[in-house]
Amino acid sequence: MGDRAKGPFILLVILLVIAAAAAFLGFIALQKEKEINVTLTEENKELEVKKRSAEKQAADLKKQVEGLNQEIGQQKAKLQDYENKISEINNELGSEREAKESALSEVSRITAASESVRKDKSALETQLKAAQEELNNIRGQLAAIETVSKPAPKVEEVKPQEVQLEKIIVAPKPQEEAPVVSSAVPLEGKVLVVNREYDFIVINLGQKDGVNLGDVFEVLRKDKSLGQAKVEEVRDTMSVATPGTKDMIKQIKEDDKVTRK
């Protein structure tokens, strides 16, 4: 009977040990669970803080995004303005390019005209030189003609006096006397040289005949007037005169009659 009593007691002790161990294990597990809960709570708090911080950061980022969107909109507007300005500048550049091309074309034209003027000037200088040489030759010819024609005016001057004296001596009546030559009688001569290239004529009247610079002579052919010529240069027995019109020089010929106006 004693062995029978020990068996349940031992079993009870074992059960108590097992219960104690289970209780201890449970306590330990509970402590661990508490520690885990505490840890989880702290982690939750930290996560909550982090969440709030993240939400705040998200709100800040959202505000920054909105600000960036506004700034992007402003930048787009500025970009559009810049594009419009660029378009206007391109148009202005196009106009300036056209103006520049036109100016370059004008410069080229002016350069060509200047070159043409330079060539014309050179040609005119050559012609002027040739004209000067020809004028010198003509002056030489005039001097030669003047030398050759010197006796003629003397004969013409003496002849009227001889005729006048003869008539005065022979005439029995006053009414038959020849009229005395006076300054009222028109001065008449003829054309010696016609220069159509330089538009002037040479007449056989000069200082000895009373011709002065600026005198005007009418050129005649068979009593038909060809026009008037103005004296530009006077020599002893001849003068150089310029026709009044450009077409007049084409009509004048040597030996045409001239009469001072």
Which residue has better confidence, 19 or 211?
211
CA torsion angle 156 158 159 165 (round to 10): 150
pLDDT value, residue 103: 54
Q: Has residue 33 been placed in a domain? A: yes
Top-confidence residue, 219 or 93: 219
Cβ atoms within 10 Å, residue 237: 24
Q: Does any domain span residue 14?
A: no
Instruction: Give the mean pLDDT of the chain.
Output: 77
Last residue of a domain, one of 114, 141, 163: 114
Both tokens assigned to 18: 């097992």
More confident: 57 or 204: 204
Classify 229 as helix, strand or coil: strand
Give the residue from 251, 221, 216, 249 showing the smallest Cα distance to 232: 216
41 lies in some domain:
yes
Return the higher-pLDDT residue of 206 and 185.
Answer: 206
For residue 248, the tally of other CB atoms under 10 A from its CB is 17
Answer for the pair 171, 185: CB distance below 8 angstroms, yes or no. no
What tens digit of pLDDT does each residue of 162-190 get? 333 333 333 344 443 433 334 567 899 99
Residue 27 falls inside a structural domain: yes
Please give the average per-residue pLDDT across 143-154, as a whole number: 52
- Tell me if 240 is assigned to some domain: yes
Q: Would you say residue 202 lies in a domain?
A: yes
Number of structural domains (the chain) is: 2
Which of 62, 89, 114 terminates a domain? The answer is 114
User: Which CATH number goes with the domain that contains 195?
Assistant: 2.40.10.340
Contact indicator for 163, 236 with CB cutoff of 8 Å: no
The answer to the question of residue 140 being in a domain is no
The tens digit of pLDDT for each residue in 34-84 reads 888 888 888 888 888 888 888 888 888 888 888 888 888 888 888 888 888
DSSP string spanning 28-63?
A: HHHHHHHHHHHHHHHHHHHHHHHHHHHHHHHHHHHH
Least Cα distance to 206 among 174, 164, 235, 244 occurs for 235
Nearest to 205 by CA among 181, 239, 241, 230: 239
The pLDDT > 70 percentage for the chain reads 68
CA–CA dist 216, 212 (Å, integer): 9
**Amino acid residing at 52:** R
Most trustworthy range by pLDDT among 43-47, 90-94, 212-216: 212-216
Question: Which of the listed residues 114, 138, 163 is the one where a domain comes to its end?
Answer: 114
Domain limits at 91? 21-114
DSSP assignment of 109-124 equals HHHHHHHHHHHHHHHH
